[in-house]
A and B are shown apart, each in its own frame.
Chain A
């Protein structure tokens, strides 16, 4: 999620063009975040939209980009938890965290990415794959079932499976090698943090 200080300033001034910009900068990321918790695409969109429009409607002012992000994530996480409670389901993140506990001491820094970053990495990695392999991965990303993919590309279901696992493996390698690129350079993040500490 990339929100510039300039955008934040214009939001604080309540400029209409900033509304659209904020929405477009955050909508996909927040929706995927909620989707990972509740597994319902439509609801996820609604929860994300609601968090963003509520913010725009309240005309809040934020001191720093991090605060704005905190607001958005707190808001959608709350929405997702409410949904899960109503559906009498568990919070998957809580479970995930428990499972990861013993491993938490190992440095796993380079494997986790914010969604927009990961998305860019996948897109770039796709370009490196063989044609058929890339096609299988693209269709998988469009949520197509293996038999549909086999039909669409005129290959056997077995080939779909092998191409898919080959593609995923190569993509992961690519992401591991290039994880540092395609993202917002760490320097900028550090600078932003520094600025915040000094001026925020």
Chain B
């Protein structure tokens, strides 16, 4: 046991052949040759955590097949068999797993998908329990900037087919479409005070997003499958808009006129600030995430104030407030930065994001685990097939596309 060839220890430490070992590394080698190592290797039956270790071992034994498959799949994508995976150096950063995802994300092009497809197909001959390969029929493209504007007189304008420039004038307010796919409200003449402002609605379909600058200069990014109701001008004592779905607000400061967002019975009050409101009907929750400034969240007769990096979740008549880390904040705002978030999302919420952005139906088969081991984000401009390939690098849930429905089921 004493003879460990030098080359092997160098490789174990990830060093080149002639690099000398550090003191710590020498110590580790010494452990192995002196017998200390075999002491570490073994677990004492009297160890208070013996059951915990046995339980973990059990779990790992049960999932090792899947882990191996996902390792093989990743290496097939990168087309470099068993490239080293760097080990995380920082305790909080999950670099190991993330790198597997990232490697996949970067290199998966047409070639990558092709390679993976072939790899799995070839492999089916040897593997006793083959996975279903997502069958690619036709490409489903990601969403893009598109929306429908409904004017006060119920006239609808499909912003997708409208050239840039002034698209309507209502009550002295000029509505124009700008080149970077947004609409802007601005006064075209002397605003008559006291007149009732007219209501407009901006609606994004599934697979669409849009940006609007309101009469007071506040900007709202509207996520897919959402709608925003707002007046063409804010003439009253406050600025009230109503949202269904998800939007990111950058509210222009005006202390004399509080800005209110109504969302499914929850009211968010602000003066000037940046925050995200998520209020899809399917969620049955309204989630307000504050980036900076200060907002109050009101539900029934409850009113709570949140600070930056906090999130208020209203459901029923309760408002819960949670502190969010920097990572969790960027997860909550991933959509606005053009990303699909996977970190900490359930299978349901990953599918919800896909449904809204790719305009597909979704189905979860019974027995599917509620969560996955997936971490990181996927760019929203990725074609759906590639997204599914990336999702399938996880070990517990299989995502397949059947006609226009993304189906999640347990990996066997």
A interface, CB within 8 angstroms of B = 17, 19-20, 23-24, 27-29, 31-33, 35-36, 40-43, 45-47, 49-51, 53-58, 60, 62-63, 66-67, 70-75, 77-79, 81-83, 86-87, 93, 97, 111-116, 118-119, 121-123, 137, 140-143, 168, 171-172, 175-176, 179, 200
B13 closest partner in A (C-beta): A78
A86 interface neighbour in B54, B60, B91, B126, Cβ under 8 Å: B91
- On whether the beta carbons of A176 and B28 are closer than 8 Å, the reply is no
Which among B9, B40, B94 has the highest number of chain A CB atoms within 10 Å?
Answer: B40
A residues near B383, Cβ cutoff 8 Å: none
Q: A32-B56, A81-B28 are in contact. Are A27 and B64 (CB under 8 A)?
A: yes
- On whether the beta carbons of A53 and B37 are closer than 8 Å, the reply is no
Which among A33, A41, A62, A112 has the highest number of chain B CB atoms within 10 Å?
Answer: A112
Could you tell me which residues of chain B, from 1 to 45, have a CB within 8 Å of some CB in chain A?
1, 3-5, 7-9, 11-14, 24-25, 28-29, 31-32, 36-37, 39-45
- On whether the beta carbons of A97 and B36 are closer than 8 Å, the reply is yes
List 14 other contacts, CB 8 Å, given A43-B88, A74-B29, A111-B44: A32-B60, A46-B87, A53-B75, A54-B11, A55-B11, A71-B11, A74-B28, A75-B12, A81-B28, A83-B89, A118-B45, A119-B61, A123-B58, A175-B45
Q: A86-B89, A119-B58 are in contact. Are A33 and B41 (CB under 8 A)?
A: yes
Q: A87-B91, A175-B45 are in contact. Are A70 and B4 (CB under 8 A)?
A: yes
- On whether the beta carbons of B54 and A141 are closer than 8 Å, the reply is yes
Of B78-86, B104-112, B217-225, B309-317, the segment with at least 4 beta carbons within 8 Å of chain A is B78-86
Give Cα A197–Cα B32 distance, bound, in whole angstroms: 17
Quote the shortest CB–CB distance from A97 to chain B (angstroms). Answer: 7
Could you tell me which residues of chain B, from 46 to 97, have a CB within 8 Å of some CB in chain A?
46, 49-61, 64-65, 67-68, 71-72, 75, 81-91, 94-97
B residues near A71, Cβ cutoff 8 Å: 4, 8-9, 11-12
- On whether the beta carbons of B51 and A83 are closer than 8 Å, the reply is no
B residues near A119, Cβ cutoff 8 Å: 54, 57-58, 61
- On whether the beta carbons of B68 and A24 are closer than 8 Å, the reply is yes
- On whether the beta carbons of B97 and A67 are closer than 8 Å, the reply is no
- On whether the beta carbons of A97 and B32 are closer than 8 Å, the reply is no
Give Cα A77–Cα B28 distance, bound, in whole angstroms: 8
Give Cα A140–Cα B68 distance, bound, in whole angstroms: 27
A residues near B37, Cβ cutoff 8 Å: 70, 73, 77
- On whether the beta carbons of B28 and A40 are closer than 8 Å, the reply is no
- On whether the beta carbons of A141 and B58 are closer than 8 Å, the reply is yes
Quote the shortest CB–CB distance from A186 to chain B (angstroms). Answer: 14
Quote the shortest CB–CB distance from A195 to chain B (angstroms). Answer: 13
A residues near B14, Cβ cutoff 8 Å: 54
A116 interface neighbour in B11, B56, B57, B82, Cβ under 8 Å: B57
B68 interface neighbour in A20, A97, A141, Cβ under 8 Å: A20
- On whether the beta carbons of B57 and A40 are closer than 8 Å, the reply is no
A50 closest partner in B (C-beta): B85
- On whether the beta carbons of A83 and B68 are closer than 8 Å, the reply is no
B71 interface neighbour in A53, A87, A121, Cβ under 8 Å: A53
Give Cα A171–Cα B72 distance, bound, in whole angstroms: 38
Quote the shortest CB–CB distance from B57 to chain A (angstroms). Answer: 5
- On whether the beta carbons of B32 and A53 are closer than 8 Å, the reply is no
B residues near A56, Cβ cutoff 8 Å: 81-82
A residues near B84, Cβ cutoff 8 Å: 50, 53-54, 57
B residues near A200, Cβ cutoff 8 Å: 3
Q: A114-B41, A137-B51 are in contact. Are A67 and B4 (CB under 8 A)?
A: yes
- On whether the beta carbons of B4 and A32 are closer than 8 Å, the reply is no
B42 interface neighbour in A24, A113, A141, A168, Cβ under 8 Å: A113
Quote the shortest CB–CB distance from B10 to chain A (angstroms). Answer: 10
Q: A20-B68, A70-B1 are in contact. Are A142 and B41 (CB under 8 A)?
A: no
Quote the shortest CB–CB distance from B94 to chain A (angstroms). Answer: 6
Give Cα A81–Cα B363 distance, bound, in whole angstroms: 44
Q: A74-B13, A79-B87 are in contact. Are A114 and B52 (CB under 8 A)?
A: no
A142 closest partner in B (C-beta): B55
Q: A24-B64, A32-B60, A141-B51 are in contact. Are A60 and B8 (CB under 8 A)?
A: yes
B residues near A70, Cβ cutoff 8 Å: 1, 4, 8, 32, 37
A28 interface neighbour in B36, B60, B97, Cβ under 8 Å: B60
- On whether the beta carbons of B57 and A93 are closer than 8 Å, the reply is no
A25 closest partner in B (C-beta): B64
Q: A54-B84, A115-B57 are in contact. Are A23 and B91 (CB under 8 A)?
A: no
A residues near B44, Cβ cutoff 8 Å: 111-112
Q: A53-B71, A74-B32, A114-B42 are in contact. Are A140 and B13 (CB under 8 A)?
A: no
A36 interface neighbour in B3, B25, B43, B90, Cβ under 8 Å: B43
- On whether the beta carbons of A93 and B88 are closer than 8 Å, the reply is no
Quote the shortest CB–CB distance from B324 to chain A (angstroms). Answer: 21
B residues near A63, Cβ cutoff 8 Å: 5
- On whether the beta carbons of A27 and B67 are closer than 8 Å, the reply is yes
- On whether the beta carbons of B53 and A73 are closer than 8 Å, the reply is no
B52 interface neighbour in A24, A62, A143, Cβ under 8 Å: A143
Q: A50-B84, A74-B32 are in contact. Are A118 and B40 (CB under 8 A)?
A: no
- On whether the beta carbons of A46 and B91 are closer than 8 Å, the reply is no
